[in-house]
A = this chain, B = another copy of it.
Amino acid sequence: MAKRVSLWNAGCPVARALDVIGDWWSLLIIRDAFDGVRRFNEFQAGLGIAKGMLATRLRGLVGKGVLDTAPASDGSAYREYVLTEKGRGLFLVIVALRQWGEDYLYRPGERRSSLVEARTDVPVGKLKLRSAKGRPLEWSDTRVTRC
């Protein structure tokens, strides 16, 4: 491979976002972080990722401000990886991927996890695009401006 292309300067927020979290593992690491995973070995065991890859990815995500390291919350001398505010901003990306997966990649009755409201255990509602004033919008109602 020649050096992997960077998309940072494309003027498109989608491209720039993918430049940060668009590789194979980053979003899975972030998903696990949302589910409460914090320690190196937890990520490694949960994802089945090679340790070298995980170390590289965690370093990258910390460097990009998506994760931060913190002293272990259980009082041990180890460190933990926690989402920054920027990282927590990716929640809707994970939710959108989840809802698409649920809608198009599972047969009815197939076992899968669900995102539920913690207080009631009721599945959350579907994401919906709305205008600035709150009116529901479809894809065909929108366009992307030239940058």
| A interface residues, Cβ below 8 angstroms from B | 4-5, 7, 11-18, 20, 22-24, 27-28, 31, 34-35, 48-49, 65, 86, 88-106, 111-125, 127-134, 137, 139-147
Tell me the bound Cα distance from A103 to B91 in angstroms: 13
> Most B CB atoms within 10 A — which of A4, A90, A96?
A96
Is the Cβ of A13 less than 8 Å from the Cβ of B97? yes
Is the Cβ of A132 less than 8 Å from the Cβ of B127? no
Q: Of B65, B90, B104, B145, which contacts A116 at CB under 8 A?
A: B145
Is the Cβ of A129 less than 8 Å from the Cβ of B137? no
Instruction: Write the nearest CB–CB distance from A44 to chain B, whole angstroms.
Output: 13
Is the Cβ of A113 less than 8 Å from the Cβ of B28? no
> Most B CB atoms within 10 A — which of A4, A23, A48, A128?
A128
